[in-house]
Amino acid sequence: MPPVSAVPQPLHAAARIRDAGAGGRSPSRLYGLALAAALGLLGWQLGAWLPLIGGPVMGIVLGMAWRNLVGVSPLCAPGIAYGSRQILQWSIVGLGFNLGLGQVVDTGGASLAVTLVTLSVAFIAAWALGRRLGLGGRLSTLVGVGTAICGGSAIAATAPILRSDSHETALAVSTIFLFNIAAVLLFPFLGHALGLSDAGFGLWAGTAINDTSSVVAAGYSYSTAAGDIATIVKLTRATLIIPVCLVIAGWVAWRARRDAARVSLLRIFPWFIVWFLAASAVYTLGWVPPALQGPLQQAAQFLIVMALTAIGLSSDLRRLAGAGLRPVLLGLGTWAAVALSSLGMQALLGAL
């Protein structure tokens, strides 16, 4: 009788197929970036044909479809991770080369009142719903901060402060990501149905959508003007991660009665915002030749589509489905409260 391997034979076969398909190659950024660029180019073209949907939405949908119907080789993992974060950040920096610094400051300042209200609503709703659903305080706080500030980035910054375990962090990230996708698909449609102006939609998207990538996608799917405003509002909102983390750290330390929660401001600060402001300053000073302004804007917008395609390529719908119903209800309730409070504040201020 032949010896029985410790690993089942089907796994041996799968490993042989995987190794053969990889051709002995090692994972590299090149493969994932090439895949994201190819699908992004297709999404860019489809968005030009279907402007009501737009390239950013087409990119994320194509990425999700490829990941969940075709599959993604492990060779592509480094490039997809790089594209979904660094490429997105540099695309936002590129947008700064066509936005005056005065517009950035004025728009960011005008949005601050709405932003502070939606931030407060997010934490109150997450706390109340979390108690109602019987979820832990750390998970509720993670979902609240992810909804209030900047999605997965805010969760990653606050999870070590709260000492959340990997399961709680994964649940929060999965929940937030689910509503990021929903926002990209629903917000432009709802904005048109509500008859929102470009400025009104940009402020709504910038204050009510969780993650920067989804804000950019929804904004530019609505219009270029709405995308510019949504991006500025979102970047203003993202800077609040520092005071929020400091407050959470102080609360954790007070509960522990010791200085246990140390926060690295250099680590949590979203530095790409500084480069965005620098690019805007270069444009304001007139250092960007007019002949380059159009190509720079086109390049930045294509990089946005490419980055969102990479985000779609990283979305495992089976993992999202396995997150459970209660975290999803928590995320849905918090998200709805923020979206409605943003519209309510705009109506109150006459900004719609």
Distance CA 183, CA 192 (A): 14
Q: What tokens were used for 316?
A: 């495992």
Residues with Cβ < 8 Å from 48, sequence gap 6 or more?
55
Complete DSSP assignment for 141-201: HHHHHIIIIITHHHHHHHHHHHT--HHHHHHHHHHHHHHHHHHHHHHHHHHHHHT--HHHH
Evaluate the CA torsion angle 16, 17, 18, 21 in order and state its sign. Answer: positive
76 closest CA partner among 309, 273, 266, 329: 309
Distance CA 93, CA 32 (A): 22
User: Confidence class of residue 17 from pLDDT cuts 50, 70 and 90?
Assistant: very low
Say if CB 187 and CB 199 are below 8 A apart: no
Write down the pTM of the prediction. Answer: 0.77
Query: pLDDT tens digits, residue range 152-196?
Result: 778 877 877 787 776 677 678 778 878 888 888 899 999 999 999
Query: pLDDT tens digits, residue range 272-298?
Result: 888 988 998 999 999 999 999 889 988
Q: Please state at what angle helix 101-133 crosses helix 137-145, rounded to 10 degrees.
A: 160
